[in-house]
Each structure stands twice: as structure tokens, then as C-alpha cells.
Amino acid sequence: MEDIAYILAGFAVGSVVGLTGVGGGSLMTPLLIFGFGIQPALAVGTDLLFAAGTKFGGLIHLTRQRLVPWRVVLALCSGSIPASLITIAVLHSVGTQTKDVQHLMSVTLGGALLLTAAATLYKVIRGAKLPLQSAVDDSNDQKPRHAAYPVLFGALIGVLVTLTSVGAGAIGVTVLLILYPRLPLQRIVASDIAYAVPLTLVAGLGHASLGTVNWYMLALLLCGSLPGIWAGSLLVAKAPDRFIRFVLCILLTWAGSRLVLN
């Protein structure tokens, strides 16, 4: 029965990701912790590879459509990948089983969930989704407000994702809209997905080297999430987007508050 529960959990999270675009990390990690009693480090490590697998399929689709602004992705990765490797090295040094490290990961995860909830609420308050603009490649669109900002933001997200598996998704899109004001929304989303794939893969493999990945559980979650994303994408035009995001905001706030105050 537990195997079926993992598959259903993957399907549920995949469906919500397909419906709203909210990152699977902000949903799957607290679900594993509160729903299945998985310790934070193991939940984070498993979810990182879960995210890498689910987002890789999306990256292939976006690449075929020529929507990925690779210069933006490279700038973000130049900060996020080294930061992730440094964070993994620190975790190797201090270990992940100590009470202090587990507490740090729980509190950091809670803070990341609260930030995601705030970004999700921001989209609800703004109302309808932004219109998708033309995907015509314009080099000026890929110029940030300042050349250092994407690298610094990437480094911050690299640390956050490695510690919590949360940080891309709603937070990433919101910040990228500020950093790249001329970049069309669909290319913002494409860049957010594209840089998350190598980041979550590197961070996930780093956690695997720490022994904080449950491979069997990961396979079950992916068995559910892949059809779930497909189902969610079919319903996205009919679903009440603002209501779903509002409910997600409440759930993320509840989970984040529990982790921070625990």
C-alpha cells in the first residue's frame, strides 16, 4: 500500500505542477516530511532528483520550440552550480545526520516555502496570467539590469536548492522577471526550467554521495509524476488558476510555518 501511496503522491504533485507551474520541490518535500515521515535530508535529496527528472522532459520540449535563452541560463548556472558544489562539500564535512544540520535544513526549507507562498500570492493578487509574448530571439532581451545580478541570484538559489530542494519555480520566475525586464514571459519560464535541470541534478547527485537519496521511492514518485504532469497540462485551460494558487499559498504557508516554528 505504501508503494501505491508514493505513486499517487507523485501523480498529485505532477498534476499541480502541470496546472500551475509551481515547482515540485515546494510541494513534494513537505509532503514527504509530513505525509510519509521522511527525515528532511532524505526528503530533500530524493526530491532533487525527482525534480531533475520531471523538468528534463519539459526542457526537451522547450528546446525544440527554441524558447530557451541560453545566455541567461549560462549566467545563472555560473553562480548556482559552484554554490551547490560548495554546499555539498560543507554537508560532507559536517554530515547530515546531526541534530543541528537537520534543524538548519528544516528551518531553511520552511523559509523557502514561505517565500514561495509569497511569490504565489503575488501572482494571485495580480490576477490573470501575463500574456505570452513573441519568442523572437533578441540579444537585448537577454541583458540583465546588471551583469553580476544573475550570477549572485544563481549562487543564492544554488545554496537554497541544495539545502531544501526549493528555490526555483515561483521564486525563480518572480526574480527573473525583475532581473530581465525585456525578456518575454515564456522565455523567462523556459530559462527557469532550463537552469534548474543541471542544478537539481548536480545537487541531487551530491546528496546521493551523502546517502540521502532513496532510489526506490524516487522511481515510484516518477512513475506517478510523469502522467500527472501530462494530465495537469490537459486541464490547465479549464482549471480555476487563481483559486488553485490561493489554496497552494495557504498550504505552503502552513508547511513553512510548521518547519520554521518546530
Q: Chain-wide mean pLDDT for the chain?
A: 82
pLDDT at 202: 95
The pLDDT tens digits of the residues spanning 94-142 come to 887 777 777 788 888 888 888 888 877 776 776 544 444 444 455 566 7
Residues sharing a CB contact under 8 Å with residue 92, sequence separation 6 or more, in sequence order: 209, 210
pLDDT at 128: 45
The answer to whether residue 170 scores a pLDDT higher than 50 is yes
Which band of pLDDT confidence, cut at 50, 70 and 90, is reported for residue 220? very high
What is the share, in percent, of the chain residues with pLDDT greater than 90?
26
Q: What is the spatial distance between Cα 214 and Cα 153, in angstroms, rounded to a whole number?
A: 30
Contact predicate 157/80, CB 8 Å? yes
Nearest CA to 223 out of 14, 1, 2 is that of: 14
Domain definitions of the chain by residue range: 2-261
**Model confidence, pTM:** 0.81
Mean pLDDT of 205-232: 90
What is the share, in percent, of the chain residues with pLDDT greater than 70?
85
The pLDDT tens digits of the residues spanning 45-95 come to 999 998 888 788 778 877 888 888 999 999 999 999 999 999 999 998 888
pLDDT at 96: 75
Contact predicate 204/55, CB 8 Å? no
